[in-house]
Amino acid sequence: MHRLGFIVSEGFQLMALSTQAVFEFANLVTEDKFYDFACYSVTGGDVMSSSGVRVSTLPLASCTQADTWLVTGASDPIVAPAETEVLKFLRRAERHARRIAGLCTGGFALAEAGLLDGRRATTHWLFARDLQARHPEVQVDDDRIFIVDGPLWTSAGMTAALDLALAMVEADLGQDVARAVAHKLVMPQRRTGGQSQHSELLELAPKTDRIQQALDYARAHLKQALSVEELAEVAHLSPRQFSRVFTAETGQSPAKAIEGLRLEAARLMIEQSRHPLEIVARESGFRDRRHLREVFVRNFGVPPQVTRRGARLGS
């Protein structure tokens, strides 16, 4: 049995505990109680989340050992220092636990305890600069879903913790179990640790279904030329109307938005596969490898090969 301990404190973000569903479904998939988990706080008893939901906890002192500790974060605009007892506990736990994770801003507690000194880590992009400023000895990467550096795991905000938990399941029980868990949880994709925290479609956020349909069509047909006329037909608008409405709803021209979707698709392929860049360029709609590199460097400041190396280090 693999014992999991979730450390919570007043005002914690309830979303962090949604990761328990990943481990629960891993037990269901394997038809065995491989994972056993409980919530802990300094004194035990009920602890209130930021949304007002109370969670029953055990006192930290009552748990002599766990295989994995997961420290939850909060949604406050300023991350408060962790409780002294929690920091002392984490330093002791590092000597015995198989791994320790900081979920979202829970990574701040790991940094305060000195566990992340000299290590790579991530957190919610809103708080990454603060984490780096407070702890310059930590190598903070503000654009990763999660990072594994030895026994220390850190994740970006909110739903990224689910991806971290799923990666733990894969490490413990294998790829097939992790895939089955993701399927049961209706997760649309399994995101690797090296994947960006940002989504181009989320940034565009069209207001009407017709523009959303055009974007969905574009993402599914990136290998094609994707002219304004073609997209306008999908949206049932004239090309002139489509360009005007598209720009008004997304803040970008159709051409700029399509380039962003192609870049996102290319980056995902670069991070998650070993396909040569010629194939990545073709599948994401760029003319050739040189064109991909030009657009990549212009937008991200680094060539595709650097992104691929970073993703392998972070996964």
Residue 60's H or E segment, with its range, is none
For residue 96, what are its two tokens? Answer: 């015995």
CA dist., res. 200 & res. 271, Å (int): 16
Q: What are the DSSP E strand ranges found in the chain?
A: 2-7, 35-41, 45-48, 54-59, 68-71, 99-102, 120-121, 139-140, 146-149, 152-155
User: Is 104 one of the catalytic residues?
Assistant: yes
Is 82 in a helix, a strand, or coil?
coil
Comparing CA positions, the residue from 111, 93, 94, 89 lying closest to residue 102 is: 111
Q: Which residues lie closer than 8 Å to 43 by C-beta, 6 or more apart?
A: 59
* Catalytic choice (104, 115, 161, 162): 104
Characterize 152-176 residue by residue with b for buried, 16 or more Cβ atoms within 10 angstroms of its Cβ, and e for exposed.
bbbbbbbebbbbbbbbbbbebbeee
Structure tokens at 164: 């971290």
Query: Which has the closest alpha carbon to 122: 149, 154, 150?
Result: 154
CA-nearest of 61, 3, 82 to 36 is 3
Residues 5 and 20: their CA atoms lie apart, in Å, by 10
Tokens coding 107 = 């990574």
Tokens of 293: 């590199």
Q: Which residues are CB-contacts of 195 (< 8 A; sequence separation ≥ 6)? A: 144, 145, 163, 268, 271, 272, 311
Which token pair is 20? 């328990």
> In the chain, helix, strand, coil percent, each to 5?
50, 15, 35
Active-site positions read 104
